[in-house]
Copies of this chain bind each other. A is one copy, B any other.
């Protein structure tokens, strides 16, 4: 019973996600669905990304959060258009939420839309929102066992950003083992090490992102 309902919900979600994808294709907007645990550093990564590329591409952000607009306020300071979705306790964004929100953006004048999902390493990976790519941010403080423990989000994502690598000396995190596990789960997946607080690795991340935008736009 519960399984059947879940399949119906996912089926309906996929239908709307396909509509979103068609809209984003028509408008020539590259969409990244950015996921990760609470505190992995998704918003910090976005702040550093905007600093670097907001003058190179026309970008906007959709912020998913349970109740607050704390993250959207952080984005807004950078002068990038941002719309908050509050899920009212819901554990992920879904395609209908993004559909209702995306139409409020000036999609005709946009190259890049980043959707920051609710902080959760499980549920968001199950719901497409119409994105071109999913990306996962993993803080090294979460432990190097996390890829194997939460495999779906790594299998679904085109890129894994390992954040807070400046804390490796203080944590029991084996970068090599984590990256091997990620490659086992999703062979050939892009993995980028960054530290948002120490401003490290961010150019590589922005290069990755800009290359994806260009690839979609055929430039």
Interface residues of A (CB under 8 A from B): 2, 5, 9, 37-39, 65-68, 70, 89, 91, 118-123, 126, 139, 141-143, 145-146, 148-152, 164, 166-167, 170-172, 197
Chain B: minimal CB distance from A76 (Å): 16
Complex Cα–Cα for A198 and B166 (A):
19
Complex Cα–Cα for A141 and B38 (A):
10
- A120 x B118 contact (CB < 8 A): no
* Cross-chain pairs A/B with CB under 8 angstroms, 26 sampled: A5-B5, A37-B37, A38-B121, A38-B142, A38-B149, A38-B150, A39-B139, A39-B141, A39-B143, A39-B146, A66-B122, A66-B152, A70-B148, A70-B149, A89-B126, A91-B91, A91-B120, A91-B122, A119-B122, A119-B149, A120-B120, A122-B123, A123-B123, A141-B164, A167-B171, A172-B197
* Chain B minimum-CB-distance residue to A44: B143
| Residue in B67, B118, B143, B148 whose CB lies within 8 Å of A68 | B148
- What are the residues of chain B within 8 A of A2 when measuring CB–CB? 9
| Residue in B70, B122, B139 whose CB lies within 8 Å of A120 | B122
* Chain B minimum-CB-distance residue to A39: B142
Complex Cα–Cα for A148 and B69 (A):
11
- What are the residues of chain B within 8 A of A91 when measuring CB–CB? 91, 120, 122-123
- B68 x A149 contact (CB < 8 A): yes
- What are the residues of chain B within 8 A of A197 when measuring CB–CB? 171-172
- 4 nearest A-B residue pairs (beta carbon): A39-B142, A141-B141, A91-B122, A39-B143
